Structure 1
Amino acid sequence: MYKQLIEAEDEHVHVTLKPNFGKTTFLFSALKNNQVNIYPEFTGSVLETLGKGNNPAGQTANQTYQLAKQRLAKQEKMTYLKPMQYNNTYALAVTKKFQQEHHLKIISDLTQVESILKPGMTLEFIDRNDGLKGIKKTYGLDVTAKSMEPALRYEAISKGKINLVDAYATDSELRQYHLALLKDNKHFFPTYQGAPLMKTSFANKHPKVVKALNKLAGKISETDMQEMNYEVNVKKQSASTVAHRYLVKHGLLKEGR
């Protein structure tokens, strides 16, 4: 979507996409070192991983964004545009079968089945303070997770090799593998809204790019994102086709562009 909107705004600009570029800290380093110009970062990740300072608990989505924006501007001389609507929050997921068998609704319920839990989680989630470390402390859970590649943990839970995974709220696999998210009843996870991040020097030089990207502010719901992820990951449609369809449908691009 970024590529298509930017190129529609300025026909002299060509955007090169670099997919699967790496984890949060790697991407941020690439941006600082001019290896990339723009990437979408999550508001919660800025506060938890990239910015320095204490994070007040229980902040609203807008408070999270405003604090993230201020820190990036002050500490890194970066411009953080307005976020999209969806909250791609971290979550814990189990199969619907496991959920029903053990009457699980909220994360606190996991303490009742702690002895039979077999978590498989990404290395990033295991390492992060807003991941497993913080969950164990906040919810009083004593579990050890097996580190797994993102795609493999979903296959493993569907085959019964593990029974608890970390997830993102917009993952297509939640629908694909009939998984249920457990409610974060202690409001541990911050809001994770995606927003375009770039150096302020780049934003000042390219006002048309900023204008194009701002068209996505407040757009794309969690359901929209999960459905689009499903179309790409499961139905094997190209990301550019799915992105274009959304942009045209919502009047952000004309059909022929």
Structure 2
Amino acid sequence: MRALPAVLLLVAVTACGLRPASSFVPPVEPGSIRPVPGLEGTPIRVTSKEFTEQLVLGKIAVLALTAAGADVADQTNVQGSVNARASLTRGDADLMWEYTGTGWITYLGQAKPIPDATAQYEAVRDLDLRENGIVWLPPAPLNNSYSIGATRATAERYGLTKISDVMKIPTAERTFCVDHEAFGRDDGFLGMLRGYGWTYGGDIPRANVRRVAVGILYNSIASGQCALGLVSTTDGRIKALDLVLLEDDRHFFPQYNAAVTMRRPLADAHPEIARIFAPISAKLTNDVMQDLNAQVDVDGDVPVLVARDWLRSQGFVK
């Protein structure tokens, strides 16, 4: 068997996408984020979920608010989306980054996502404020949704640029790797098959679908164990392994734009928080988030230092 390239071995070791997150906050000095008199000494509890992207975003929030003069409690790294969200709604935390699609579908119980990113944001913003008193700031461009990924060689071999091109692949070679959780989700693999008008067991033979742990998913695609895989669009291993994302030409997958959410009393008392995060959010694209995630998942860096270095590189802090 041919040895895997070094990057594949590295990704295989760090592929779980989880890193321990401590409450250590490195010192930062104000850059373009200036001390805000109204925030000086204001206690703000920042939380996040436990996966890499959420840790990085959570640390960005901690550092940005610290630079602005707030008294920040780092409560990031909560296991599970529902638990992190509950800490916000019940008042144990004040602020966290969340995703528009997650808010709409998982927390607000809406069955049908809204394809337009702006309309999806406005809908979740209005309903969550009305029902739960949660304020959503304008979202970042980054959209942590699903897509179908393939190696560059596979994409070129079959002429794949969009998801509907999957039918160009001979049936016997139409193989997928899918993580266990995403397999049966309405916004995941089986839902995608229905959305594209394909049958599981017909257009996509059952034997052609390999269910794997998310930690080895990307390596499984890159090493040729399957031609295609259901992947997260902002995962750092996409660039590290030179995977190609196919265009969702039927606009099936929901919009999952990241946005700062916070309790209404905090938002009402400190409207300056929105001004702090507006320029930060504007710079967080899929490409930027892939790079930041890769620094943790591929290079082994610590989320809070990745967050600090990025804020410094953009001039937000020193």
Structure 1 length normalisation: TM-score? 0.84
Q: What is the root-mean-square deviation in Å for CA atoms of aligned residues?
A: 2.5
Alignment check: 8 A CA contact 1:48 1:130 kept: no
Q: What residue identity is the alignment partner of 1:42? A: Y
Match of 1:119 among 163, 171, 176: 176
Q: For residues 160-187 of structure 1, what are the alpha-carbon distances to aligned partners after superposition, in whole Å with 9 as ceiling and x for unaligned? A: 2233222222211111112111111111
SS state at 1:39 partner: strand
Alignment of 1:18-29 (within 5 A): 18-19=76-77, 21-29=78-86
Structure 1 position 148, deviation (Å): 2.8
2:303 corresponding residue in structure 1:
239
Q: What residue identity is the alignment partner of 2:197? A: G
Structure 1 position 17, deviation (Å): 4.0
Q: How many angstroms apart in 1 are the aligned matches of 2:75 and 2:155?
A: 39
Structure 1 position 55, deviation (Å): 4.1
User: Please, which moves more after superposition, 139-148 or 93-102?
Assistant: 139-148
SS state at 2:307 partner: helix
2:250 corresponding residue in structure 1:
186
Structure 1 position 77, deviation (Å): 1.9
Alignment of 1:1-257 (within 5 A): 1-11=60-70, 13-19=71-77, 21-53=78-110, 55=112, 57-59=114-116, 61-113=117-169, 114-141=171-198, 142=200, 143=204, 144=206, 145-204=209-268, 209=273, 211-253=275-317, 255=318
Alignment check: 8 A CA contact 1:6 1:213 kept: no
Q: For residues 131-175 of structure 1, what are the alpha-carbon distances to aligned partners after superposition, in whole Å with 9 as ceiling and x for unaligned? A: 223211111232454443322111222232233222222211111
Structure 1 position 29, deviation (Å): 3.1
Identical-pair percentage: 22
Structure 1 position 90, deviation (Å): 1.6
Alignment check: 8 A CA contact 1:111 1:140 kept: no
Structure 2 CA distance for partners of 1:215 and 1:36, relative to 1, 3 Å: same
User: Which 5+ residue runs of structure 2 have no aligned equivalent?
Assistant: 1-59
Q: How many angstroms apart in 1 are the aligned matches of 2:82 and 2:180?
A: 13
Alignment check: 8 A CA contact 2:113 2:255 kept: no
Structure 2 CA distance for partners of 1:54 and 1:172, relative to 1, 3 Å: closer
SS state at 2:267 partner: helix
Structure 1 position 47, deviation (Å): 2.4
Q: How many angstroms apart in 1 are the aligned matches of 2:183 and 2:172?
A: 19
Alignment check: 8 A CA contact 1:121 1:153 kept: yes
User: Which 5+ residue runs of structure 1 have no aligned equivalent?
Assistant: none
Structure 2 CA distance for partners of 1:36 and 1:151, relative to 1, 3 Å: farther
Q: How many angstroms apart in 1 are the aligned matches of 2:227 and 2:66?
A: 44
Structure 1 position 103, deviation (Å): 2.1
Q: How many angstroms apart in 2 are the aligned matches of 1:226 and 1:54?
A: 29
